[in-house]
Amino acid sequence: MINKILVFLLFFLSSCGYQPIYLNKSLENKEFSKIFLEGDDDINKKILSTLPISENEQKTEQNQLYIVSSYIVENASKNSSGQITSYKTVVSLNLEIKDGNNKSITNRNFIKQSIYNNKENSFELANYQATIKDNLTNAIINEIIIFLSSQ
């Protein structure tokens, strides 16, 4: 009985080496000759502070990074009296990498959205929308890490 348990544990602990593709989502520091940011300041600041990217203007032969972000809150539905019952928040980001000759190497759009119910209190709604924006931005950052690590 003990031998069977030991064999089972040994077999269980020594797996075949399978790992999910996105298990290691780390990204080494990527250096660009110039980083251009456009759009929503909060999203752009979070991306610059989270991603391991840096700007080195002295290396003009390196690639350039262009980031254009947007944050939109729309009415998703209204009730019969015309009051808003739900909102839709969309965070989108366009990431483009160009070479030293300003020729596009890669271009990718990242879009995340969320639909949620209206809140009675406008302060709660504003806080909830800020949380949604932060969560959607984090989801996009994770996709960017996967995208850049494959480049």
pLDDT in tens, 118-149: 999 999 999 999 999 999 999 999 999 888 88
Within-domain flag for 137: yes
CATH number of residue 69's parent domain = 3.30.160.150
Number of domains in the chain: 1
In a 3-state reduction of DSSP, which class is residue 112?
strand
Within-domain flag for 40: yes
In a 3-state reduction of DSSP, which class is residue 129?
helix
DSSP at 28: P
Spatial CB neighbours of 52, under 8 Å, sequence gap ≥ 6? 27, 28, 29, 30
pLDDT tier, 111 (very low <50, low <70, confident <90, very high otherwise): very high
Within-domain flag for 35: yes
Within-domain flag for 67: yes
Within-domain flag for 10: no
pLDDT tier, 18 (very low <50, low <70, confident <90, very high otherwise): very low
* In the predicted structure, residue 28 carries a pLDDT above the cut 50: yes
User: Alpha-carbon torsion 125, 128, 130, 135, what sign?
Assistant: negative
pTM given for the model:
0.77
Q: In what order do the strands lie in the sheet with 34-39?
A: 34-39, 64-78, 84-98, 104-117
Q: Which domain holds residue 104?
A: 26-149
DSSP at 57: T
Q: Which residue is it, tokens 């990074």?
A: 65
Greater confidence (41 vs 150) lies with 41
Within-domain flag for 16: no
